[in-house]
Structure 1
Amino acid sequence: MFRRKSLGCRPTPVDPAKVASQAFRTPLQRSDNENREDGSSAPKRSKTDLGFRPTIIEPERICTQFRSPMPKLNNDDEDGGGKRKRRKLIRIERPFDTERIDVTDPMRSKLADKFSSQFITTSLSEHETILQKLLSKPFVIPIPGYNLSGRALGMGRSSMRVALFDPYGEGAVVLFTPPPMTHEEEMKMKDKKLVHVVVDPCLSKVLRPHQVEGVKFMYNCVNGRNIENYRGCIMADEMGLGKTLQCITLMWTLLRQSPDCKPTISKAIIVCPSSLVKNWDKEIHKWLGDRVHGLPVDTSTGGKDEITSTLRSFMLDTRVRAASPILIISYETFRNYSDVINSAPIGLCICDEGHRLKNNENLTYKALSGLKCDKRILISGTPIQNDLLEYYSLVNFVNPGLLGTASEFKKKYENAILKGRDGAATDADVQRGNERTKEMIGLVEKCIIRRTSTLLTKYLPVKYEHIICCRNTPLQDALYHKLIEIEKETRAFEKQKSDSGKATASALSFITLLKKLCNHPSLVYEEVQNRENKFHATTSLFKDPFNPKRLDPSLSGKMKVLDYLLAITRKKTDDRWVLISNYTQTMDQFIELCKLRGYGYVRLDGSMTPKQRQKVVEEFNKPDSGIYCFLLSSKAGGCGLNLIGANRLVMFDPDWNPANDDQAMARVWRDGQKKHCFIYRLLATGSIEEKMFQRQTHKKALSSCIVDAGEDVARHFSSDQLKELFKLESNVFSDTHDKLKCKRCIKGVESIDPPDDADCSSDLAHWFHSQVRQFSLF
């Protein structure tokens, strides 16, 4: 150390060994010849001379005691005892206060190299260097799909708004494009700038052109761009066009994006039949993976308290990006817990199979109308099923008040349109009906999108649809005439009664009896056997011994045709069948027929749980399945099922509602089908079944006129003709064909081919017509 001297004196050198660890070297040190102006040589300096003047600081000037960083030396005896030495501190003053140091000085660089070389004493061997290069790994971003482009370490995120996905990328589906702006305008907007809304690429890459169009239409509807102040929409595409995928795409886009660079909605609710709750959850996972999770709620979720707790937690979750922002619930469960669901607002409501809301007076309709949500999507491939008032209910649900009140709609639109559609309407009625039709279409066409299944011809195999009028057997004709005769006498007697309700119930029961008779005589045997039944007199028509539990296909015209179709297909092809009926008793007979002919079969009806139904469907759809016939109840499995394992389908009996039949017949002609499809509708000739089919045709013509905006739709049947239910036309090949007044057939033989653009959705008059007298000609 230095002993105390007055400032300006040269320090006295000490033993270098004591200060070796703290020797000072300065890179600014210059040679003595450079420092002396006269060039004379300077006296030699000791090895510890630092070349500058130190300033000695007394210890008492320091507020706290300084602890030396040097290791303790064994020289304590110098001050006596074992006491620690008091040491002086050195503050270095550079002698170049008046000059700026030249960092480019070559001497400075040499000294710096010399100084650093004393500390870098070791280096990695060549072997270690090679191993480090081999074992080193590049940095990988742990977030899947994260794009690091445009980011740099130490740089903050740009405040400029950008779209979530590239709107100019290949195959990008843009739902909203901001108005063009100059660069100066963009700089002024900053955090208020609008951005593109782009469909997630994981969805846009699988959307077909008509589905892209549908998503864009619905997006404009729910954002009020199509009709000001109205945000509802009806997705009315026919079966198989991908309505579910289009709605999932819209919902996912709204949950994540908006022109304001934030989600448009925070929560969505999907209301559907109970059999489709799990199916919707699977569809969401199929298309979106783990990006979002649905919350399915049905009777299998738990008890009342558990369901209430689940729904309340969902409604109270106000986070922008919740873990499960999509509630999937059945119509029945929604109605029972509507007080919980309607307690808070919902961003988007999707109602699948929305024709369940066709009656604006039922409890389900009223419960859903109380939902605090203005963005409403109603999915229905058949928005008009029976009459225009049902259509009004659907439109009024998604856009309340658009068509006025129900009474106003009926007075202004329904009465005039139906009168003009009647086969016996005058020219004035037709003209007025057309005017009202165009006026109503002009209002609703901006909130309803409709595409027919003809679009599927681009993606699916050919579909052939046959309507086969099957002659009744002699036993069926005899029973039919006898039952009608007895019913007329009964109705004449009941008309004298004041209670008309009993007569109505009796008429409905009689209609059901006739429909069963058209399927097979054994289905009415037990009922007429009852001696208290008014039809007991028909028992004598059954030949003894008659066993209703043993199936005889030859006693029913339709059953004979079905028996032949199954047999010849089994012999000549590897096709499989779906057999559909509205009655479980008829399905029992299907089972007897399969057992009689040795066909493998499975059955799906209303007694099965959703899990059992799904298991049966999956088993049947396996390519190597040995099941030949899938027996399906129209009401239990008419919608939502995918039965592409079969390519042939028989609709054994008709429904009053054409939508139910259309839904059931669409089970095989769907995405994934690889073979040509054949649809057979069996009708008992001249019977009530043909009358029902004629009413279906009349309703479909009304739907084509309103929903499809069809022009010049033919009016084949008058209201009086449609009322003639209890009349058997037994001496015709087809009562329906006769009432069509076909202009292409001469004496029952088709002489003019249908139009080239005719298909299964065309008017019946444009179908091929033929008569087959023997099974060998099928």
Structure 2
Amino acid sequence: VVTFLHTVLLCDKLNFTTALVVCPLNTALNWINEFKKWQEGLEDDKKLKVSELATMKSPQDRSILLQKWQDSGGVMVIGYEMYRNLVQGRNVKSKKLKTVFNKTLVDPGPDFVVCDEGHILKNEASAVSKAMNLIRSKRRIILTGTPLQNNLIEYHCMVNFVKENLLGSITDFRNRFINPIQNGQCADSTTTNVQVMKKRAHILYEMLAGCVQRKDCTTLAEFLPPKHEYVLAVRMTSIQCKLYQYYLDHLTGTGSTREGGRGKAGTKLFQDFQILSRIWTHPWCLQLDYISKENKGYFEEDRMNEFIPSDSDETSLSLSSDDYPKKKKFKGKKRTSSGGHEDAEVI
């Protein structure tokens, strides 16, 4: 895309001057760096002017930069959300500014539009898709590395943005391609359904051959180093083994007794797995989780003599109200969770 834009915008025989790159906010500066990288060493008159709006905070500064970009040409990099907000006039009260945004971004807008991570436009009902479809320019490019998971409705939405009405309306596309292709993919599909599916899929492929370029990993295979995966098994330390065995003997249904008066029954598989995973990761994970629960007031003074397993907020495992009384601050002596030994040292 960098090479293409450099060619068409700087060619004297072509009357193109501006290009708009719309991308997620976290990739905006990456685009700037890519243009700098590939234009390094060129003379100033052979370099594209590249600007971005991500660091511009006020609507006035954005309008000035957009107007300068439209007048002098070059490439403008903007995020999807900012583009939507500027086009829809959000947080902009001045009619003059709204006119500038509409003129530079929509009508007449840029000569070329590049949509990075184009699968964001897979839903035509979203606000971003509606804003992007307002662009008057029909010279549009979509880049995406995310598979569409055989969802032909999303595929139709993306193709329709690049080349409008190529596949017809969504109703026609559903009757002509979606339904026949889906009917031939079922386990109980007849031979006729499968034949129709293959024929329609081939027709769709041929229709899109002029505007869709699909490349898989084999394109870069000879340039990339081979991938190696290594699996390392690390033995648990002695304190981890003691904690692990203590938990199995006293806090799960596998032991002869169960502390807390709950007995053997009611073993919680997923809860046990989470607690044991903390032990085999590092014993300090138990202490960190315990401190987090203590600060939130999960423990009572009269229950501090137990080895209390708990869940982190991330795992969101279901615990009964009897396990952790909430909203009661503990005022007694602090105790570690290292198998009931306060002075146990964890390395």
Does the alignment reach a TM-score above 0.5?
yes
Q: Which TM-score bucket, shorter chain as reference?
A: 0.5 to 0.7
Q: Is the 8 A contact 1:256 1:264 kept in 2?
A: no
Match of 1:293 among 23, 46, 49: 49
Q: What does 1:337-486 correspond to in 2, within 5 Å?
A: 337-338=86-87, 340=101, 341-385=105-149, 387-464=151-228
Residue 545 of structure 1, CA deviation: 2.2
Distance (Å, rounded) in 1 between the aligned partners of 2:275 and 2:308: 14
Cα RMSD for the two superposed structures = 3.5
Which ranges of 4 or more aligned residues in structure 1 deviate by more than 3 Å?
464-467, 516-523, 547-550
Distance (Å, rounded) in 1 between the aligned partners of 2:214 and 2:273: 35
Write out per-residue CA displacement over residues 139-190 of structure 1, whole angstroms, 9 at most, x where no aligned residue: xxxxxxxxxxxxxxxxxxxxxxxxxxxxxxxxxxxxxxxxxxxxxxxxxxxx
When residues 445 and 296 of structure 1 are mapped into structure 2, their CA distance, relative to the original with a 3 A threshold, is: same
When residues 336 and 428 of structure 1 are mapped into structure 2, their CA distance, relative to the original with a 3 A threshold, is: same
Distance (Å, rounded) in 1 between the aligned partners of 2:58 and 2:307: 55
**SS of match in other structure, 1:295:** strand
**Partner AA of 1:251 in structure 2:** L
Q: Is the 8 A contact 1:420 1:431 kept in 2?
A: yes
**SS of match in other structure, 1:461:** coil
What runs of 5+ residues in structure 1 fail to find an aligned partner? 1-246, 468-473, 479-513, 527-542, 551-596, 599-778
Give aligned pairs, total.
236
Write out per-residue CA displacement over residues 668-694 of structure 1, whole angstroms, 9 at most, x where no aligned residue: xxxxxxxxxxxxxxxxxxxxxxxxxxx
Residue 517 of structure 1, CA deviation: 7.5
From the CA coordinates, give the structure whose radius of gyration is larger: 1
- Hey, what does 2:8 align to over in structure 1? 254
**SS of match in other structure, 2:176:** helix
**SS of match in other structure, 2:22:** strand
Write out per-residue CA displacement over residues 616-664 of structure 1, whole angstroms, 9 at most, x where no aligned residue: xxxxxxxxxxxxxxxxxxxxxxxxxxxxxxxxxxxxxxxxxxxxxxxxx
**SS of match in other structure, 2:20:** strand
Q: What does 1:121-136 correspond to in 2, within 5 Å?
A: none
Distance (Å, rounded) in 1 between the aligned partners of 2:163 and 2:75: 22
Q: Is the 8 A contact 1:383 1:394 kept in 2?
A: no
What TM-score do the two structures reach when normalised by structure 2?
0.60
**SS of match in other structure, 2:142:** strand
Distance (Å, rounded) in 2 between the aligned partners of 1:359 and 1:522: 43
Match of 2:63 among 308, 312, 316: 308
Q: Is the 8 A contact 1:285 1:293 kept in 2?
A: no
Match of 2:78 among 317, 324, 329: 329
**SS of match in other structure, 1:334:** helix
When residues 390 and 522 of structure 1 are mapped into structure 2, their CA distance, relative to the original with a 3 A threshold, is: farther
Match of 1:271 among 22, 25, 32: 22
**SS of match in other structure, 1:432:** helix
Distance (Å, rounded) in 1 between the aligned partners of 2:133 and 2:166: 15
When residues 278 and 545 of structure 1 are mapped into structure 2, their CA distance, relative to the original with a 3 A threshold, is: same
Q: What does 1:701-712 correspond to in 2, within 5 Å?
A: none
**Partner AA of 1:452 in structure 2:** D
**SS of match in other structure, 2:220:** helix
Residue 464 of structure 1, CA deviation: 4.8
What runs of 5+ residues in structure 2 fail to find an aligned partner? 89-100, 232-247, 255-268, 278-288, 290-305, 314-345
**Partner AA of 2:56 in structure 1:** T
**SS of match in other structure, 1:262:** coil
Residue 414 of structure 1, CA deviation: 0.8
Write out per-residue CA displacement over residues 421-465 of structure 1, whole angstroms, 9 at most, x where no aligned residue: 223322222111111111111101211111211232211111257
Distance (Å, rounded) in 2 between the aligned partners of 1:466 and 1:381: 27
Q: Is the 8 A contact 2:51 2:75 kept in 1?
A: yes
Distance (Å, rounded) in 2 between the aligned partners of 1:518 and 1:253: 61
What TM-score do the two structures reach when normalised by structure 1?
0.28
**SS of match in other structure, 1:421:** coil
Q: Is the 8 A contact 2:20 2:112 kept in 1?
A: yes
